[in-house]
């Protein structure tokens, strides 16, 4: 194994890690030897994810909390550092909410729900996590989205929230850099088999349009994103902070217009 990607004895906590891309990220760290905690809203899903992560060897823990609840997030951090027996080396903030709807079909509470999960949730996870991070040496990865930089119809709430997430990445990279904490965003493109993709491209016609819009001509896999997260948290990225790094087959570079149109049903 490349020594840079050896996460043996490292403690990794993944918020939103109970399914989809984030579970793939949690499993990738476990495969590289890490002690991993996964956090989700649903306790049964969290336990199933813990078992999936543990199957790769090493200790795995699960917790249930809603990232909209700062006290609940704080409690997870405190319990994880006790369970893992040390500070957090890698913190992944990946919990997200989404539903396709035009701004005129969305109540203020609908918009706020997504902002609360994606943007406030990221702040909660990082703010509560700070005191438990390994200093120096911790790496934070915020899971962003193409919507942060590409305006998409039916996604005003996610576009606004994820743009905010990327600015949290940049500002905290500056504020926490002197403490030896790196903060980066990973930007998953259209990833096959995820709840998000099922919501945004529910028909085969839409899936075909998405694939055509991606320069590499295919949807991604959770492993495509997880490998980038391994890099970002590894010693190979020791001088990388404040970066917004797409793992998207070139979708963001292409403007991903096809994806936006397909979610309108064209």
Length of the chain: 266
Instruction: Give the residue at shortest CB distance from ligand COA.
Output: 97
Applying CB under 6 A, among 195, 208, 253, 257 the residue interacting with ligand COA is 195
Helix (H) or strand (E) holding 117: none
| Peptide bond preceding 258 in cis form (omega within 30 of 0) | no
Which one, 32 or 114, has the nearer CB to ligand COA? Answer: 114
Which one, 98 or 241, has the nearer CB to ligand COA? Answer: 98
> With binding defined as CB under 6 A, does residue 96 bind ligand COA?
yes
Please choose, out of 31-39, 71-79, 113-121, 146-154, the segment that lies near ligand COA by the rule CB under 6 A: 113-121
Please choose, out of 107-115, 136-144, 169-177, 255-263, the segment that lies near ligand COA by the rule CB under 6 A: 107-115
Q: How far apart are CA 146 and CA 160, in angstroms?
A: 11
Q: Least CB distance from residue 101 to ligand COA, whole Å?
A: 4
Q: How far apart are CA 136 and CA 246, in angstroms?
A: 26
**DSSP alpha helix (H) spans, the chain:** 20-31, 43-54, 70-84, 108-115, 121-129, 156-176, 195-200, 204-213, 222-233, 257-263
Q: Which residues pair with 246 in a beta bridge?
A: 187
Please choose, out of 47-55, 96-104, 202-210, 216-224, the segment that lies near ligand COA by the rule CB under 6 A: 96-104
Which residues are designated catalytic? 144, 162
Helix (H) or strand (E) holding 247: strand 244-247
Interhelix angle for 108-115 vs 156-176, to 10°? 30
Q: Least CB distance from residue 102 to ligand COA, whole Å?
A: 9
Applying CB under 6 A, among 33, 137, 196, 202 the residue interacting with ligand COA is 196
- Contact code string over 46-85 relative to ligand COA, x by CB under 6 A: ----------------------------------------
> With binding defined as CB under 6 A, does residue 210 bind ligand COA?
no
Q: Which residues contact 122 (CB under 8 A, 6 or more apart)?
A: 67, 93, 142, 164, 165, 168
Which one, 138 or 219, has the nearer CB to ligand COA? Answer: 219
Q: Which residues pair with 15 in a beta bridge?
A: 39, 93
CA dihedral 151, 152, 157, 163 (to 10 degrees): -30
Q: Which residues pair with 62 in a beta bridge?
A: 38
Please choose, out of 77-85, 100-108, 162-170, 237-245, the segment that lies near ligand COA by the rule CB under 6 A: 100-108
Applying CB under 6 A, among 72, 75, 101, 223 the residue interacting with ligand COA is 101
Residues at the site binding ligand COA, with contacts judged by CB under 6 A: 96-99, 101, 105-107, 109-110, 113-114, 117, 195-196
């Amino acid at each position: 194994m490349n020594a840079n990607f050896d996460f043996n004895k490292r403690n990794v906590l993944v918020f939103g890690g109970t399914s989809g891309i984030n579970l793939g990220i949690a499993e990738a760290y476990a495969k590289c030897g890490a002690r991993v905690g996964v956090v989700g809203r649903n306790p049964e899903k969290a336990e199933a994810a813990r078992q999936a992560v543990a199957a790769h060897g090493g200790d795995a823990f699960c917790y249930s909390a809603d990232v909209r609840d700062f006290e609940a997030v704080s409690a997870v951090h405190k319990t994880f550092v006790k369970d893992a027996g040390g500070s957090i080396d890698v913190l992944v903030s990946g919990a997200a909410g989404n539903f396709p709807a035009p701004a005129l079909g969305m109540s203020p509470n609908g918009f706020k729900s997504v902002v609360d999960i994606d943007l406030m949730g990221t702040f909660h996870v990082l703010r509560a996590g700070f005191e438990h991070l390994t200093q120096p040496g911790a790496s934070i990865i915020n899971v962003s989205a193409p919507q942060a930089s590409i305006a998409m119809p039916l996604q005003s709430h996610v576009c606004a929230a994820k743009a905010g997430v990327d600015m949290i990445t940049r500002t905290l990279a500056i504020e926490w850099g002197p403490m030896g904490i790196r903060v980066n965003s990973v930007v998953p493109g259209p990833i096959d088999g995820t709840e998000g993709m099922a919501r945004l491209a529910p028909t085969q016609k839409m899936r075909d349009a998405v694939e055509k819009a991606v320069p590499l001509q295919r949807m991604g896999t959770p492993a495509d994103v997880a490998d980038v997260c391994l890099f970002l948290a590894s010693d190979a990225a020791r001088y990388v902070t404040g970066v917004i790094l797409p793992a998207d087959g070139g979708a963001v570079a292409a403007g991903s217009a096809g994806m936006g149109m397909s979610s309108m049903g064209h």
